[in-house]
Copies of this chain bind each other. A is one copy, B any other.
């Protein structure tokens, strides 16, 4: 039903040339040979009809009905249920099992011994309004990958626990060496907090949720409202995943039954000190007991106390953690529909299925959208639709412990993925609001087109238009408002880490996208017993209409990639965006140079002796090393060359759309393999697992991305020689990409 002859298609394209706008022409030509644009559209129209809010809601309810963390009986039941659904939808599905390390708590003690006694409850309380909050089988409140430990020491409040917070403490004369630190959640990824604390000599780390961030300061606590009540605790992983994610015992290889494993003590991603997350109910007696200097204004949260930094030796805090260090099975559910024309080109799409507790929002709301796509595609296939490329739908296990299921599968299948993977598309939960889209920048126009085609369920305009309106309203200056209002493309964010795309993008170099709606579904349930179905339907996506929107966005991305005549990878966008990153790091170097010079001048002038309140006994900051001149020419030259070649290639891609030459297949292969040119053989400094030269999680931000990470972090950390080396490294990867683009250009020229 969907096939048309080439002659009709060519005629269609001719009409399109004559009548349509440049943008529509591009769409028609790049996406639509083999099936006409008209056909692609009708596939999507039928797909949209098959996506149902009701079944999304039913799946969320079913899959979040009980606690189902990695290694639990509930987790196995959820994996089996998902497997059954894929099969029911007509997919070729199976479970692939890995054996991964997973610490669960045996002992958790936190108590204040001096100046008065307080024993932390470490317990979230069930609420009557929400039936699943009182279930058995819940994991206690803890963080995975804390060390076993038993320490008694003084306490220091370290704000968010960022490196700059320790600089401030240093000026205040407070040293955390041999002490326990208490940091609040927020700003940096949770795993960064104990890592930085350990680097500064702390012997233990407590992380608490201040009501400022996601408690009563933001809105009513659960169940009256969506935010944290006084007992809510954020569980999570504190693995040092910026070194490598996945099973700590099997870096770089799949954690199969027989895999060769590191000894636990040799695994560099497991923390060296005990760490415990707590509620603000448990934090209040500790923070209230702190003496010493009043914390700087921006360190203060929303508890009704004077925040002080402590470290005066007047507190005695006891922190003890012990874990079961078991190997447990991780069940990845993998479902496929074989491509009709290019079975060895895979469009991969994933969302994890494991939760810290019930996880209605994280991850099940995303999983339900994935299943709804799978259902709709299955029905399309039953009605005669045949995707040209193979679809691989994945429900990952063990994501919460730092991407265990996806990383082990990707490492296990690395060779095959390197050959076949056209793209990886990720989601991880969903809510009400605005489209968030991040990923490989060559997908910018591709995602823009989709965002203009999918309707926002609350306003009826496209999700692109709603996002643009919000950006215009939020913009601060008249100039920025004007710019936002006249935007025609959706800017793709860069990917750091924090969900299952990491292996695909940053280790293997597969073009990657990540989607999710949000911004109007804020709350404090994240990784707590309150992330429940009852919570979700009240505060996240009542009516599951954004579940539908997410399926429509991702479904389009999957179908268009599966059927594209010429793959919609436009490296002009990549060039433009990477050029802005280069401008940023140049500016960073320049600013660091200026700031270091003027700071040193201030220090030498005595200003830091004269300015502070003498009663505070503030230490002077240390003199900084001066910043050498850093030459970015090699990288700028590479990027400029790329600018020229990507323009030429794009024009040829448009022309190629109307060709029927078989060699197009090779062009497509070059297009989706091009991202791999950006990989560095030896990876990033001090973390070889991360090979992408453009995107990586920040060494000190955790989830947060650093673009041009090798260069940017070298400047931030004042490693000037390394910054120079990394400029050469990135210049080379950009040159490799340029060569790849030129190979494609030559090939297309030979075809046309």
Residues on A lying within 8 angstroms of B by beta carbon are: 211, 216-220, 225, 227, 294, 300, 302-306, 433, 456, 458-459, 461, 465-466, 468-470, 472-474, 478-479, 481-482, 485, 520, 591, 594-595, 597-599, 601-602, 605-615
Contacts and interface: CB of A to CB of B under 8 A. Distances in A.
A601 B595 CA distance: 39
22 contacts: A216-B305, A216-B306, A217-B300, A217-B306, A218-B294, A220-B306, A433-B613, A458-B614, A459-B609, A459-B610, A468-B607, A469-B606, A470-B611, A472-B605, A473-B607, A478-B597, A481-B602, A485-B601, A485-B602, A485-B605, A485-B607, A520-B615
A311 B461 CA distance: 32
Q: Which 5 residue pairs of A and B lie closest in terms of their CB atoms, listed nearest first?
A: A469-B610, A469-B607, A473-B611, A470-B611, A478-B594
Contacts of A482: 598, 601
A216 B591 CA distance: 37
A602 B458 CA distance: 19
A394 to B, nearest CB: 33
Contacts of A306: 216-220, 225, 227
Contacts of A459: 609-610, 614
B302 A613 contact: no
A521 to B, nearest CB: 10
Contacts of A609: 459, 469
Contacts of A468: 607
Contacts of A433: 613
Contact of A211 (B304, B597, B602): B304
Contacts of A599: 481
Given A485-B605, A591-B478, A610 B219 contact: no
A490 to B, nearest CB: 15
- Greatest chain B CB density within 10 A among A469, A520, A610 is at A610
A685 to B, nearest CB: 28
Contact of A478 (B456, B479, B598): B598
- Greatest chain B CB density within 10 A among A227, A481, A595 is at A481
A613 B431 CA distance: 13
A611 B474 contact: yes
Given A211-B304, A607-B485, A473 B216 contact: no
A85 to B, nearest CB: 32
Contact of A611 (B469, B591, B607): B469
Contacts of A606: 469
A611 B478 contact: no
Contacts of A605: 469, 472, 485
A485 B598 CA distance: 9
Contacts of A220: 294, 306
A605 B481 CA distance: 12
B598 A481 contact: yes
Contact of A608 (B303, B473, B594): B473
A456 B606 CA distance: 15
Contacts of A474: 611
A308 to B, nearest CB: 9
A478 B468 CA distance: 34
Nearest to A520: B613
A429 to B, nearest CB: 19
Given A303-B304, A459-B609, 15 more contacts: A219-B306, A225-B306, A300-B302, A456-B610, A459-B610, A461-B610, A466-B610, A469-B609, A470-B610, A473-B602, A473-B611, A478-B594, A481-B598, A481-B602, A482-B598
A136 to B, nearest CB: 32
- Greatest chain B CB density within 10 A among A474, A479, A591, A601 is at A601
A477 to B, nearest CB: 8
A468 to B, nearest CB: 8
Nearest to A613: B520
A530 to B, nearest CB: 17
A348 to B, nearest CB: 34
- Greatest chain B CB density within 10 A among A218, A598, A606 is at A598
A470 B614 CA distance: 12
Nearest to A220: B306
Contacts of A300: 217, 302
A589 to B, nearest CB: 13
B611 A472 contact: yes
- Greatest chain B CB density within 10 A among A433, A469, A597, A609 is at A469
A473 B470 CA distance: 37
A608 B469 CA distance: 7
Contacts of A481: 598-599, 602
Contacts of A598: 478, 481-482, 485
Contacts of A611: 466, 469-470, 472-474
Contacts of A217: 300, 306
A125 to B, nearest CB: 18
A426 to B, nearest CB: 26
Contacts of A595: 478
- Greatest chain B CB density within 10 A among A458, A473, A612 is at A473
A465 B218 CA distance: 43
Contacts of A594: 478-479
Contact of A304 (B304, B473, B610): B304
Contacts of A597: 478
A615 B520 CA distance: 9
A216 B610 contact: no
A613 B466 CA distance: 11
A431 to B, nearest CB: 12
A610 B599 CA distance: 46
Contacts of A305: 216
A218 B601 CA distance: 31
A157 to B, nearest CB: 15
Nearest to A590: B478
Contacts of A303: 304
Contacts of A591: 478
Given A304-B211, A591-B478, A610-B461, A219 B469 contact: no
Nearest to A481: B598
Contacts of A227: 306
- Greatest chain B CB density within 10 A among A601, A602, A608 is at A602
A539 to B, nearest CB: 10
- Greatest chain B CB density within 10 A among A211, A220, A461, A478 is at A478
A219 B485 contact: no
Contacts of A478: 591, 594-595, 597-598
A279 B637 CA distance: 65
A478 B614 CA distance: 24
Nearest to A219: B294
